[in-house]
Amino acid sequence: MNPVALLTPTYRRDLELCTLLCESVDRHVTAFSRHYLLVPDCDEAIFAPLASERRVVLPASRFLPAWLRPLPSVIQRKRRQFWWSLRASPVSGWHVQQILKIAASASLPEQRFCILDSDVVFFRKFDLTPFEHPNAIPLLNIVNGVTPGLLRHVAWIETTHQLLGYPVPNLPASDFIGHLIFWDQETVREMISRVEAIGDCEWVEALCRVRNFSEYMLYGYFAQTVRKARARHIPVATTPCLSYWDEPTLGKDELHCLLQRADSNDVAFSIASFSGTPVKTIRAVIAENEAPLAPANFSGKDAEVALSC
């Protein structure tokens, strides 16, 4: 069996959140090989203290093509870093994080990956043994989750099918975006080959050209469509992670309300970093809500939680 690796692309503004993620991984997650933190080269030093026997901090340049380079930090828009090239328009750090997930999953030694954003926090035990290669892994598929009103999701579906050379589906369509997402390396490599064949260029260039893409949509629609890839996955309707996607900052009462809605299958939660919820508040609520071992079961309830106790 080949243990699962954890994969987290991050950057300096999420250092405090990423530190909390790492602490929760060390406390609750078992049976993984390595936890890889993928960071901009200029941030490598500030993340170095998080490195350990099972955690490795890797610079983005290890996975990005030489022609894609970061703009100087003084050239920023809304405090966001951009990468430039002569092949496409500049892309943001958010785009680069998506590219890093694909590139790292295709090139690191493990065959299975669990992708964790910096704002994920584990509060129960999570054993990754069931997801080791060659076992089938969960493929999140929220059937009919994308409706015409979700304009960004609709655009991601359109570019996904453009990149893969598939006809664009009618709406409502499947949504593959969530937290605690599992990827299979062979599937990632096959997806890359498909994108390069359709675009007649390097896959990173193809993504930079369209810019408006979603890595989870790309992987999800490919894995769902290709027979060999589909056989490596088990479709699921949700993941064991409570997700808060909204912008309003949460206080302790709202956080307690969120965790009170956790069922026996939930092992983690994610509060979008753009909500500005203080890490100090999250730490305080975690200390009051951490629970003993609970099994991971990818089914049975909605992935997004409404905060109404």
Is pTM beyond 0.75 here?
Answer: yes
Q: The domain containing residue 179 runs over which residues? A: 4-289
Write down the residue that tokens 């709202």 correspond to. Answer: 254
Q: Is the residue at 121 inside a domain?
A: yes
pLDDT band for 263, please (50, 70, 90 cuts).
Answer: confident
Q: Which of 192-201, 254-263, 281-290 has the highest mean pLDDT?
A: 192-201
**Bigger pLDDT: 304 vs 176:** 176
Cis (ω within 30 of 0) for the bond into 40?
no
Q: If phi over 0 gives left and psi between -120 and 50 gives alpha, with beta otherwise, what is residue 203? A: alpha
CA separation for the pair 208, 186 (Å, rounded): 23
140 Cβ contact partners less than 8 Å away, ≥ 6 residues apart? 176, 177, 178, 181, 216, 220, 236, 237, 238, 239, 298, 303
pLDDT in tens, 268-298: 999 988 888 999 999 998 888 765 434 445 5
Pairing of strands 268-271, 137-140: unpaired
Q: Is the residue at 309 inside a domain?
A: no
Given a contact cutoff of 8 angstroms between Cβ atoms, the answer to whether 243 and 304 are in contact is yes
Token pair recorded at residue 13: 């503004």
DSSP 3-state of 273: helix
pLDDT at position 78 is 60
Q: Is the residue at 304 inside a domain?
A: no
Number of domains composing the chain: 1
Q: Is the residue at 8 inside a domain?
A: yes
**Bigger pLDDT: 199 vs 261:** 199
Given a contact cutoff of 8 angstroms between Cβ atoms, the answer to whether 200 and 208 are in contact is no
pLDDT at position 8 is 98
Given a contact cutoff of 8 angstroms between Cβ atoms, the answer to whether 90 and 82 are in contact is yes
Alpha carbons within 13 A on the beta-carbon side of 69: 7
DSSP 3-state of 263: coil
Element (H, E) at 269: strand 268-271
Q: Is the residue at 308 inside a domain?
A: no
What mean pLDDT is predicted for residues 148-174?
A: 97
CATH number assigned to the domain comprising residue 87: 3.90.550
Q: How many helices (H) and strands (E) does the chain have?
A: 10, 17
pLDDT in tens, 59-80: 999 999 999 999 887 666 666 7
Q: Is the residue at 301 inside a domain?
A: no
Given a contact cutoff of 8 angstroms between Cβ atoms, the answer to whether 42 and 73 are in contact is yes
Q: Is the residue at 307 inside a domain?
A: no
pLDDT band for 261, please (50, 70, 90 cuts).
Answer: confident
Q: Is the residue at 302 inside a domain?
A: no
CA separation for the pair 25, 214 (Å, rounded): 25
pLDDT at position 217 is 98
State the average pLDDT for the chain: 91
Given a contact cutoff of 8 angstroms between Cβ atoms, the answer to whether 285 and 256 are in contact is yes
Given a contact cutoff of 8 angstroms between Cβ atoms, the answer to whether 218 and 187 are in contact is no
Token pair recorded at residue 29: 């997650």
CB-based contacts of 230-234 (< 8 A; 24+ apart in sequence): 231/136, 232/136, 232/137, 232/184, 232/186, 232/187, 233/136, 233/137, 233/138, 233/139, 233/184, 233/187, 234/136, 234/137, 234/138, 234/139, 234/298
Write down the residue that tokens 């959140």 correspond to. Answer: 17
Percent of the chain residues topping a pLDDT of 90? 78
